[in-house]
Amino acid sequence: MIDGYKRFMNLEEPLPPKKAKGFFTDTSLCIGCKACEVACKQWNQLPADGFVITGNSYDNTGHLGATTWRHVQFIEQAKANGNRQEQRWLMMSDVCKHCANAACLEACPTGALVRTEFDTVYVQQDICNGCGFCVPACPFGVIDRVPKESTFEVGTAHKCTLCYDRLKDDMTPACAKSCPTASIQFGDVEELRRRARERLGELKARGESTARLYGMPEGKEALEVGPLHAFFLLLDKPQAYNLPEVPRLPRTTMAERYGWSAAVGIGFAMVAALVFRSGRR
Amino acid sequence: MTEGYYDYPVVRRPVWTWEVPAYFWLGGMAAGAFVTASLAQTLGSTDDRRIAADGYYVAAAALVPCAPLLIADLGRPDRFHHMLRIFKPLSPMNLGAWTLTGFTPLAFARAASHAADTGLLHGPLRALARLAPRRLVELAGSLLGLTLAGYSGVLLGATNIPLWAKSKLLGGLFMASALSSGSAAVTLQAARRGAPDATLHRLATVESAASLGEMAILTAYLMQSGKAARPLTTGRFALPFWLGAVCAGGLLPLVLHGVTRRGHGTRLQSVSTAAAVCTIAGSLVLRWSIFEAGKVSSGDQAASFELSSD
């Protein structure tokens, strides 16, 4: 009977899992060339976002969105050191984190958002009906819906696919391929984590005391959304890069929210029952 | 004070438009009216039963625009049926779609059997409408109705928008607002049809209980939200929220019901009508202002950092 149901619903067996793939973005190596942004747009045939000068350093991209899946941040920091001003320029290529417990995937009511055989999070464009619930669910502000007046895959939700099409052919995602400094590294998540720990040790030994990893299994950012399959080496607090300290997974508080809602409903029913009963003789 | 990346938002702005709060309001009112009518059917006096059954008309009528509103808000309305290709109660959006799908036919069936009772339906239609097992429809409909009334606030809360997510009471608030507006819709019908004073008084008590609950939860919600509530309590949405949702929609009906506690006749009917209209309108303003202020809240970098602080 289950087989018949699957045939009727045209359900496919999930593909056998492969090794988890991801990105390790080492921001200490980023030079802000934006090659990743361009390569991503080219490979995925994403339209331009318009010509906007934000006035915020060299960042004229602003944020990740439906048609922007890599975003290079330029953080200018000035600190007084005695009677001298010390300048620091941090750069970071932001991307979808491909969370182990992805809020977007859990929110999706159609099953358009799925976990692939590479343990990445992917939007099936032929399923998504553009309900928009994944957009505010994501704690990182990654996924977005294409406006109805756009020329590109109108009305559905989009984000980084980790170049699912390239992965299928054993190719490196476009951004990592184009990165000239190996700031964006692609590979098996396990191997990348090993490399990240090694690199952090190196930097600490050189006196980079504020360097840290963001998105590792032991980090507090993994408390709710789990380890990130696209994780980062940062040179400052996560907030400096607009990253939440503990990204929230809506599921963790859902039972309590339903509980309050149910309590109000039951309370009302009881009061109304007493009132109506009082009118009966 | 945390230093963010310029003043850029941490989360994305919700893409939903006015259709969503309008649906929350209508769906909630339908559910509230159905539950009120069903409680009166089961427990009330003959007068209460006769009068409150009109609530089933309200429920059915309010549900008519619900599905179209939800579909209109989709990025791809032609794929609305994808909502029902899986059953995934973990997603409040999926649960809501299924609940609406289940509740709508029940509300229509119960309204049809009421129409058959009052002689609005004739011939084979009347026979068909009488086929529905009433008690079962009332019970199942009330359970699904309460789910419909309660999930909308949980849905907004199950996001990372500070105004919606910081307090865990939004689901309870929307539930109370659905029940106050739903019972007010029943009162409205009752007053229009010249219900006996005693029935109107009982309906007023039920409505006031819901409104009192709503105001209490709203207070707790605002206190828990703290600074995250600023886009709602100050600025562009302060006037509709305080004047429309709180004063006109919550406090004024309580006062009106209070002053006519021993009223009777046409005076009671007109005051009850006024109070009910205020409650219903206030319920819409409440959903709309919290919904729209949520979009402003999505740009509140400091509130986002607070929501995600250790």
Q: Domain of A25: which CATH number?
A: 3.30.70.20
pLDDT for residue A154? 85
Pairing of strands A212-214, A121-123: unpaired
Q: Do A137 and B158 touch (CB under 8 A)?
A: yes
**Are residues B231 and B240 in contact, defined by beta-carbon separation less than 8 angstroms?**
no
Per-residue pLDDT tens for B83-131?
999 999 999 999 999 999 999 999 999 999 999 998 888 889 999 988 8
Q: Is pLDDT at A8 greater than 80 in this prediction?
A: no
Q: Is residue A54 part of a domain?
A: yes
Task: Flag the least confident range among A43-52, B34-43, B138-147, B233-242.
Answer: A43-52
Q: Write down the mean pLDDT value for chain A.
A: 94
Tell me how far apart the alpha carbons of residues B242 and B14 are, in angstroms, rounded to a whole number: 23
- If DSSP states are collapsed to H, E and C, what string results for chain B? CCCCCCCCCCCCCCCCCCHHHHHHHHHHHHHHHHHHHHHHHHHCCHHHHHHHCCHHHHHHHHHCCHHHHHHHCCCCHHHHHHHHCCCCCCCHHHHHHHHHHHHHHHHHHHHHHHHHHCCCCCHHHHHHHCCCCHHHHHHHHHHHHHHHHHHHHHHHHCCCCHHHHCCCCHHHHHHHHHHHHHHHHHHHHHHHCCCCHHHHHHHHHHHHHHHHHHHHHHHHHHHHHHHHHHHHHCHHHHHHHHHHHHHHHHHHHHHHHHHCCCCCHHHHHHHHHHHHHHHHHHHHHHHHHHHHHHHHHCCCHHHHHHHCCC
Q: Does A154 touch chain B (CB under 8 A)?
A: yes
The number of folded domains in chain A is 1
CA dihedral A111, A104, A47, B76 (to 10 degrees): 40
Dihedral (CA of B291, B293, B296, B299) sign: negative
CB contact (8 A) between residue A272 and residue B209: yes
The better pLDDT of the pair A153, B286 is held by B286
3-class DSSP assignment, residue A266: helix
Q: Which residues are CB-neighbours of B288 under 8 A, at least 6 positions away?
A: B18, B21, B22, B25, B240
- Domains of chain B, earliest start first: 19-307 (1.20.1630.10)
Q: Read off the pLDDT of residues A194-229 as tens digits, 9 standing for 90 and up.
A: 999 999 999 999 999 999 999 999 999 999 999 999
Domain extent for A170: 17-253
* B86–A141 C-beta distance less than 8 A: no
CA-to-CA distance for A229 and A22, rounded, in angstroms? Answer: 5
Nearest CA in chain A to B165: A250
Q: CB A144 to CB B12 under 8 A?
A: yes
List Cα–Cα distances, A33 to A72, A116, B143, B150, B309, in angstroms: 8, 30, 58, 49, 32
Percentage, residues of chain B above pLDDT 90: 89
| Phi, psi for A246 (deg, rounded to 5) | -125, 95
CB A185 within 8 A of CB B105: no
Using the predicted structure, report yes or no on whether residue A11 has a pLDDT greater than 80: no
Decide if B5 and A75 are in contact by the 8 Å CB cutoff. Answer: yes
Closest among A21, A80, A79 to A231, alpha carbons compared: A21
pLDDT at B143 over 70: yes
In a domain, A234, yes or no: yes
SS3 A176: helix
| Closest Cβ opposite residue A133 in set B93, B168, B307 | B93
CA distances (Å), A120 to each of A18, A96, A98, A186, in order? Answer: 11, 10, 6, 13
Predicted confidence at residue A281, as pLDDT, reads 66
- Count of residues in chain B: 310
In a domain, A68, yes or no: yes
Residue B104's alpha-carbon distances to A48, B27, B134, B141, B280, in angstroms, are 44, 10, 15, 9, 20
In a domain, A156, yes or no: yes
Q: Looking at residues A162-179, what average pLDDT do you find?
A: 97
Question: Residue B78 class from Cβ within 10 Å (0-12 exposed, 13-18 middle, 19+ buried)?
Answer: exposed
Report pLDDT for B77: 95
Neighbours of A87 (CB within 10 A): 8
Beta bridge partners of A214: A232
pLDDT attached to residue B1: 42
How close B128 gets to chain A, by Cα (Å)?
A: 30
* Residue B122, both tokens: 């004739």
Whole-angstrom distance, CA of residue B266 vs CA of residue A17: 72
Q: Over range A62-73, report the average pLDDT.
A: 96
- The first and second tokens of residue A103, run together, are 């809020």
pLDDT at A229: 98
φ, ψ at B167 (rounded to 5°): -85, 150
For residues B251-275, average pLDDT? 91
Q: Is residue A131 part of a domain?
A: yes
User: Nearest by CB to A276, which of B48, B175, B298?
Assistant: B48
**Contact flag A272-B161 (C-beta cutoff 8 Å):** no
Binary contact (A143, B12; C-beta < 8 A) = yes
The strand pair at A230-234 and A21-26 is best described as: parallel
- Is residue A44 within 8 A of residue A69, CB to CB? The reply is yes
Q: Cβ distance A165 to A44 under 8 Å?
A: no
**pLDDT at position A169, please?**
96
Complex ipTM value? 0.95
Quote the pLDDT of residue A175.
98
Size of interface A-B (CB pairs under 8 A): 261
Q: Do B44 and A141 touch (CB under 8 A)?
A: no
Mean pLDDT of B231-248: 96
Segment A124-138 mean pLDDT: 97
Chain B residue with CA closest to A220: the answer is B310
Q: For residue A147, is pLDDT > 90?
A: no
Mean predicted confidence (pLDDT) in A266-278? 96
The encoded tokens of residue B36 equal 């009120």
- Distance (Å, rounded) from C-alpha B223 to C-alpha B215? 12
Q: Kindly report the number of other CB atoms within 10 A of residue A242's CB atom.
A: 23
Nearest-CB residue to A272 (from B206, B298, B301): B206
Range scoring the smallest mean pLDDT among A6-10, A27-31, A115-119, B7-11:
A6-10
Q: Say whether pLDDT at A235 is over 50.
A: yes
In a domain? residue A271: no
Interface touch A136/B11, C-beta < 8 Å: yes
In a domain, A64, yes or no: yes
- On the question of pLDDT at A15 being above 50, the answer is yes
- pLDDT at position B308, please? 95
Mean pLDDT of A132-144: 98
Instruction: Read off φ and ψ for residue A41, nearest 5 degrees.
Output: -60, -45
Question: Among B158, B162, B131, which Cα is nearest to A256's?
Answer: B158
Distance from CA of A231 to the nearest CA of B (A): 17
Residue in B closest to A251 by C-alpha:
B158
Name the residue among A135, A240, A279 with its Cβ closest to that of B15: A135
- Judged by CB atoms closer than 8 Å, whether chains meet at A154 and B75 is answered as yes
Task: Name the strand (E) or helix (H) holding A74.
Answer: strand A70-81
Question: Which token pair is A197?
Answer: 């720990």
CA A70 to CA A39: how far, in whole Å? Answer: 9
